[in-house]
Chain A
Amino acid sequence: MALFRDEYPAEARIIRLALASSFTALGIGALFGLLQALNRTGVLPLISPTDYYTALTAHGVLLALIFTIFFLVAVFTWAVVRSLERGLPDLRLAKLAYGLMVIGTVTTTVTILGGFVPEIPMSADVLYTMYAPMQAHPGFYGGLALFLIGTWVAGFDWFRAWWGWRNDNPDERIPLQTFMVLTTTLMWYIGTIGLAIEVLVFLLPWSLGIWESINPLLTRTLFWYFGHMVVYFWLLPAYLLWYTVMPKLAGGRLFSDPLARVVFVLFLLLSTPVGVHHQYLDPGIAEGFKFIAMTNTMFLLLPSLLTAFTVVASIEHGARQRGGTGYLGWLGALPWRKPAFTGMALAGILFAAGGFSGMINAGMNINYLVHNTIWIPGHFHLTVGTAVALTFMAGTYWLLPQLTGREIFSERLGLTQVVLWFVGMTFMSNAMHRAGLAGIPRRTADPTYTGFVFETPLGAISELRAQIALGGTLLFVSAMLFLLIVILSWMDRGQPAATHDPLPAPLSGAEHSPPILDNLKLWTGIAVALVILAYTLPFVAIVSDGGLLGDGIRASAQIIGPLLGVGP
Chain B
Amino acid sequence: MDIHRYERLWLAGALVLIVLFIGTITYGAVVVGVEMVSASGGTIAPDEIPNDDRFSDPRVEQVGENEYEAYVIARQFLFQPRQLRVPEGSTVTFYVTSPDVLHGFEVVGTNANMMVIPGQVTKATVEFEEAGSYGVVCNEYCGAGHHTMEGSIEVVPQSEWEGGN
Residues of A within 8 A of B (CB): 49-50, 53, 125, 127, 131, 133-134, 215-217, 220, 255-256, 258-259, 279-287, 290-291, 294-295, 298-299, 301-302, 305-306, 309-310, 313, 359, 362-366, 368-369, 371-373, 438-439, 441-447, 449-455, 508, 512-514, 541, 545-546, 550-554, 556, 558, 560
Contact in complex: B43, A545 (CB < 8 Å)? yes
Instruction: List the 6 closest pairs (A to B, CB-CB), nearest first.
Output: A452-B135, A372-B139, A441-B139, A439-B108, A551-B45, A368-B111
Is B63 on the interface with A (CB-CB < 8 A)?
no
Contact in complex: B144, A49 (CB < 8 Å)? yes
Q: Quick one: closest A residue to B37, CB to CB?
A: A281
Contact in complex: B117, A450 (CB < 8 Å)? no
Q: Are A454 and B108 also in contact (CB < 8 A) when A134-B101, A259-B3, A282-B37 are? A: yes
Contact in complex: B25, A364 (CB < 8 Å)? yes
Contact in complex: B144, A365 (CB < 8 Å)? no
Note all chain B residues with C-beta closer than 8 A to A454: 108-109
How far apart sit A213 and B37, CA to CA, in the bound complex (Å)?
25
Can you list, as one digit per residue, whether each of B113-139 has a CB less than 8 Å from chain A (1) or not (0)? 111111111110000000001110111
Note all chain A residues with C-beta closer than 8 A to B110: 439
Note all chain A residues with C-beta closer than 8 A to B1: 258, 512-514
How far apart sit A92 and B4, CA to CA, in the bound complex (Å)?
45
- The distance from the CB of B153 to the nearest CB of chain A, in whole angstroms, is 10
How far apart sit A542 and B139, CA to CA, in the bound complex (Å)?
23
Note all chain B residues with C-beta closer than 8 A to A287: 29, 35-36, 38
Q: Are A53 and B144 also in contact (CB < 8 A) when A287-B35, A541-B39 are? A: yes
- The distance from the CB of A223 to the nearest CB of chain B, in whole angstroms, is 12
Enumerate B90-110 residues with CB–CB distance to A below 8 Å: 100-102, 104, 106, 108-110
Name the one of A305, A373, A556 contacting B139, with C-beta atoms under 8 angstroms: A373
How far apart sit A220 and B119, CA to CA, in the bound complex (Å)?
13
Name the one of B21, B117, B141, B143 contacting A283, with C-beta atoms under 8 angstroms: B117
Chain B, interface size category, equals 35 or more
Contact in complex: A508, B2 (CB < 8 Å)? yes
How far apart sit A264 and B70, CA to CA, in the bound complex (Å)?
48
How far apart sit A29 and B6, CA to CA, in the bound complex (Å)?
42
Enumerate B1-37 residues with CB–CB distance to A below 8 Å: 1-4, 6-7, 10-11, 14-15, 17-18, 21-22, 24-25, 28-29, 32, 34-37
Is B152 on the interface with A (CB-CB < 8 A)?
yes
Note all chain B residues with C-beta closer than 8 A to A554: 46
Is B41 on the interface with A (CB-CB < 8 A)?
yes
Contact in complex: B114, A449 (CB < 8 Å)? no
How far apart sit A514 and B123, CA to CA, in the bound complex (Å)?
50
A447-B137, A514-B1 given; name 5 further pairs at CB < 8 Å. A216-B102, A255-B4, A441-B104, A452-B133, A560-B144
Note all chain B residues with C-beta closer than 8 A to A283: 37-39, 41, 114-117, 120-123
Contact in complex: A371, B139 (CB < 8 Å)? yes
Contact in complex: A281, B115 (CB < 8 Å)? yes
Is B69 on the interface with A (CB-CB < 8 A)?
no
Note all chain B residues with C-beta closer than 8 A to A127: 141
Q: Quick one: closest B residue to A436, CB to CB?
A: B139
Most chain B beta-carbon neighbours within 10 Å: one of A283, A294, A295, A299: A283
Name the one of B3, B14, B106 contacting A305, with C-beta atoms under 8 angstroms: B14
Contact in complex: A449, B150 (CB < 8 Å)? yes
Contact in complex: A305, B112 (CB < 8 Å)? no
Is B140 on the interface with A (CB-CB < 8 A)?
yes
Contact in complex: A49, B45 (CB < 8 Å)? no
Q: Are A441 and B114 also in contact (CB < 8 A) when A256-B7, A284-B43 are? A: no
Name the one of A284, A313, A364 contacting B120, with C-beta atoms under 8 angstroms: A284
Note all chain A residues with C-beta closer than 8 A to B114: 281, 283
24 CB contacts below 8 A, A to B, read: A216-B117, A256-B3, A259-B7, A284-B120, A286-B39, A290-B36, A294-B25, A302-B15, A306-B10, A359-B21, A365-B28, A366-B28, A441-B139, A443-B141, A444-B141, A446-B147, A449-B135, A449-B148, A450-B150, A455-B109, A514-B1, A552-B47, A556-B100, A558-B143
